[in-house]
Amino acid sequence: SHAAIKIQPMRQFFSSGHTNNWAVLVCTSRFWFNYRHVANTLSVYRSVKRLGIPDSHIVLMLADDMACNHRNPKPATVFSHKNMELNVYGDDVEVDYRGYEVTVENFLRVLTGRLPPSTPRSKRLLSDDRSNILIYLTGHGGNGFLKFQDSEEISNVELADAFEQMWQKRRYNELLFIIDTCQGASMYERFYSPNLMALASSQVGEDSLSHQPDLAIGVHLMDRYTFYLLEFLEDIHPSSKANMNDLFKVCPKSQCVSTPGHRTDLFLRDPGSALITDFFGSVRKVEITMETINLTEPIHFVNEERQKETYSYVDQLPVSEIIHQKPKQKDWHPPDGFILGLWTLILLVFFKTYGMKHLKHIF
Amino acid sequence: MGLLSDPNRRRALISLLTRLNAPICVVCYMAGVAWFMGLAFEPFTLRTYMSENAMGSTMVEERFPAGERALGTGREFSAHKKKAGGMPVDWLVKTMQSRGLEVFTQRFSRRLPFPDEDKERYMVKGTNVYGILRAPRAPRTEALVLSAPCSPGDDNNQAVGVLLGLAQYFRNQVFWAKDIIFLVNEHDLIGMQAWLEGYHHTNTTGMDWSPLQGRGGSIQAALSLELSSDVVTSLDLVLEGLNGQLPNLDLANLFYAFCQKIGVLCTTQGKLQRNDWDSVSGYSHAVQTMMLMVMKQASGRPWGDHGLFLRYHIEAATIKGINSFRQYKTDATTIGRLLEGMYRKLNNLLERLHQSYFFYLMPSLSHFVSIGYYMPAFGLLALILLLRALDLWIQLATPPPRTEDGVADAEQMSSPGVLSVLTPLVISHLTGVALYTLPIHFQEIAVEHFPVSETEAVVLTAIAVYTAGLALPHNTHRLLTGRGTENGWKVLKLVAVLYLAVLLGCTALINFSLGFILALTLVPVAAFVTPDVPKALSAFIMVILSPACTLLFSVFLFQELQEMPVSFLDGWMLYLSVISQGILDHALYGSLVYPLVALLVYPCWLLFWNILFWK
């Protein structure tokens, strides 16, 4: 009775299941005309830091240095709003992977934890099975791939496999994946690991558009989706109760021109119960109480949503069901050049052996 | 059996080829000319667009404020220029230094092979002055050039003024990633050649120049400014450079994009573009603009100070300010802003301009025709030569159907004699070499014996050698030991036709306009000349279609297209000066038109002349 009254807030207390937050923020493009991708990443970095995730838990990867680029008329700044309203570079940026270190290999190694022993702590994603991770990618992308630095690509299959490796090694509790590129929705199509939620700025076949052309600097400062995301996040504070459903509403088609998409089928909780601060902030749940709570009694939870069966290590979720959920419709394609060539060859051989006189009958 | 190895089929094809050869040739010729004329028709052209991602749109804010001050500087420059009687070196050095540039000078001197009567110079001595604006934070690996010529008299003072004004404004900005070199060159092209040779450590034309003390890295792009009035009504873009080389189309696209953004009237070839492409006058206007570009490109001379940059793979163009009788005038501040915008965009470049076309024709500033579209016009003309060669080959390969004297004809059937082919070849080429070397070498002797100036001596010697070549066939045949066999002229014509095809093909690849114009006149000559055509008439036609007369007609056509038609006498004087300028361009800058015509095209034409008079 006395303990039962106290159980209620404790259920809420442990409802999200994570104890620490990490963020991996990646900008994959270099060159001065891709200023907006760096500004995108730095805006998310700024929000994430403001909401409480410390630099030690943020892996920031920037492929180029816009603040110190020779063409920057305002050196040491990266603006996200024109007329220089908001300098997202600030004076306490900690970039962990910079310039040519931002490669597909390094990104995958960070995610899976397979880094050489000499890698410093600031370059590692030291997450555990109670970490909520935010992964934000931006750059130039296409249907099923994201371009890294003009010379390589990461495909959606590779990304899905990396997340599966993370799941099998218990490197995350829940993972929020946000991508702001052209045709971004193609990047989360292939996910099959549990507890993943994904957002993208545009569907397959659509381009994500840029925003904020600034004539003084001479480039576009932000992309639309991240611009409105930043606006949304500026209203979030550490004790905000906004949930993921609000995040899905960010940047509707009227503002973004492209159609943002999201994927929640792999996420085991209801998205409405997942708070924004579960991923974007590092909220330490501290409640000061003057009363004593007897913890020797076992706490009985009535677990409606949580799975009770024990799974074997590998088999947490019937993977095959997820992968083959939607059988792909195979459209009929006309035979391509190989088959046509093969038939031409067969016909030629036939006429060669049986004589050209047969050809006269046809033509 | 295969199409060509089956004797029946082969005979059918061959008879088709020989029967229809002349009609196919005529059809090809007309198709080639029609294709060329159709290039200016607007639905067949493409709109220009920016191909370089790094340059993007015209998204910059131009803030150049000091147009009036620039004009004041130009007036100061003019006064000092008059006082110094040439380039005011000290004043320029002091002014550039006060604007914060690193200033250097270069002295050069050159003795022309013969006096240049158009520009009135013979012994040229001068100084180039240039100031380098170092990029504030960048390594000194790349540079951009802005140049203005120091012209005698009242020309281009405002250009130098705007250049110095821009230098001062640019010096206060922090966003330059490349060094900017502000160059004022004396004696226009000669000074520019000296500066470029000094910058790139080459010496191709035998000029004397002092080495450059200061450099700025590899030059990515260059603009030359010619401005002779305080206000302009339009800006003209000049693209044609040495040997018909053109800068990357992106440079023209950049200029056009900024002209549209700022609202300045922009032209190319001095002709304003029209919107009524479907009317006859609109189409003929586009044709005139394109023909002007073709003729300027074919002449192989640089039509602005930018023309010499192109051979170093530096994209360059000249912007000329034109002041005509229009109501709407553009002031110097606007011109400064346009240049500022262009340089800010060029500043964003990461590599040399290479995304857009290097070979194109522009019927107007907003439309272009790329090499893939205009080359078939030339291809159709070259096809005529190949068809003719095939025809001759077939004639040479098939034995004559009946012979009168079996034995003698058997002798004839054996090789027509290498000597009968080689002799005309060698003699024609020797005449070509004479045409190339004699005019300059014998100018002193000519001046001694005739009351002409050196320039006239050179030109008239050239014409004399050219005409003397016409008398050759009568002399070559005396050298031939055997009699000209029936097949001898066919072998010579086969060789000559193939030679002409290769020559014109190579020329058209490098300088399409020159190749096409030569093809227009030489291909009919090559196709239809035989010893059997009526001699007097065909001799007359051949002379009309020879390179020299083509040049004469081109001079008159060029003047007509520029809406400054000349009388015959003036045209003739212009023609003589064109010849002398061609020879001078070759000596001073390495233009290849004169050696090409003298050493290759003229001997080829002489071969056909030989065939005409074959006995």
Q: How confident is the model over A253-283, as pLDDT tens digits? A: 888 888 899 999 998 888 888 889 889 988 7
Residue A256: its H or E element? helix A253-256
Confidence of residue A326 (pLDDT cuts 50, 70, 90): low
Rounded to the nearest angstrom, the minimum Cα separation between B62 and chain A is: 8
Sheet of B121-133: strand order equals: B208-209, B102-116, B121-133, B179-186, B142-150, B218-226, B315-322, B234-238, B266-268
Portion of chain B with pLDDT greater than 90, in percent = 67
Residue B85 region, left (φ>0) first, then alpha (ψ -120 to 50), else beta?
Answer: left
pLDDT in tens, A141-164: 999 999 999 899 999 999 999 999
Per-residue confidence (pLDDT) for residue A318, from 0 to 100: 54
Confidence of residue A317 (pLDDT cuts 50, 70, 90): low
Confidence of residue A15 (pLDDT cuts 50, 70, 90): low
Confidence of residue A304 (pLDDT cuts 50, 70, 90): low
Confidence of residue B533 (pLDDT cuts 50, 70, 90): confident
Mean pLDDT of chain A: 84
Token code pair at residue A105: 């290999």
Per-residue confidence (pLDDT) for residue B208, from 0 to 100: 92
Confidence of residue A4 (pLDDT cuts 50, 70, 90): very low
Which residues from A are below 8 Å from B343, CB to CB? Answer: none
| Rg (chain B; Cα; Å) | 28
Which residues from B are below 8 Å from A214, CB to CB? Answer: 59
Q: Name the residue among B175, B344, B348 with its Cβ closest to that of A33.
A: B348
Q: DSSP letter for A188, please.
A: G
Which residues from B are below 8 Å from A356, CB to CB? Answer: 1
Confidence of residue A2 (pLDDT cuts 50, 70, 90): very low
Contact by Cβ (8 Å): B310, B192: no
**Which of the residues A27, A182, A251, A256 is marked catalytic?**
A182
CA distance B87 to B126: 8
pLDDT in tens, A338-348: 788 888 999 88
Whether the ipTM is more than 0.90: the answer is: no
Partners of B143 in beta bridges: B179, B219
Confidence of residue A84 (pLDDT cuts 50, 70, 90): low
Mutation target among A29, A31, A32, A351 for the B interface, most CBs of B within 10 A: A32
* Residue B262 touches chain A, beta carbons under 8 Å: no
pLDDT in tens, B179-231: 999 999 999 999 999 999 999 999 888 899 999 999 999 999 999 999 999 99
Give the DSSP per-residue string, A198-238: EEESS-TT-PPPEEEEETTTTEEEEEHHHHHHHHHHHT--T
Give the DSSP per-residue string, B425-494: HHHHHHHHHHHHHHHHHTHHHHHHHSS--HHHHHHHHHHHHHHHHTTHHHHHHHH-SS---TTHHHHHHH
Confidence of residue B293 (pLDDT cuts 50, 70, 90): very high
Cα dihedral sign for B505, B508, B514, B520? positive
| Phi, psi dihedrals of residue A21, rounded to the nearest 5° | -120, 140
Residue type, B85: G
Per-residue confidence (pLDDT) for residue B410, from 0 to 100: 46
Give the DSSP per-residue string, A42-62: HHHHHHHHHTT--GGGEEEEE
Range of lowest pLDDT (B324-338, B392-406, B487-501, B536-550):
B392-406
Token code pair at residue B538: 């065909």
Mutation target among B52, B55, B59, B62 for the A interface, most CBs of A within 10 A: B59
Whether residue B126 has pLDDT greater than 80? yes
- Per the annotation, the verdict on A140 as an active-site residue is yes
The predicted model gives A235-244 an average pLDDT of 88
Instruction: Indicate the Cα dihedral angle B485, B487, B489, B493, nearest 10°.
Output: -170
pLDDT in tens, B415-452: 556 777 888 888 899 999 999 999 988 888 888 888 88
Token code pair at residue B516: 């096409």
User: Which chain A residue has the Cα nearest residue B63?
Assistant: A216
Per-residue confidence (pLDDT) for residue A312, from 0 to 100: 55
pLDDT in tens, A162-217: 999 999 999 999 999 999 998 888 999 999 999 999 999 998 888 888 887 888 88
Query: Which residues lie below 8 Å from residue B106, measured CB to CB, with a gap of 6+?
Result: B127, B128, B130, B194, B195, B198, B209, B210, B211, B212
Residue B121's nearest CA partner among B130, B112, B129 is: B112
Whether residue B408 has pLDDT greater than 50? no
Query: Which residues lie below 8 Å from residue A11, measured CB to CB, with a gap of 6+?
Result: A301
pLDDT in tens, B567-605: 999 999 999 999 999 999 999 999 999 999 999 999 999
Per-residue confidence (pLDDT) for residue B583, from 0 to 100: 93
CA angle B289, B293, B299 (to 5 degrees): 145
Contact: B175, A33; criterion CB under 8 Å: no
Confidence of residue B54 (pLDDT cuts 50, 70, 90): confident
Range of lowest pLDDT (A1-5, A6-10, A194-198, B258-262):
A1-5
Token code pair at residue B365: 């500033």
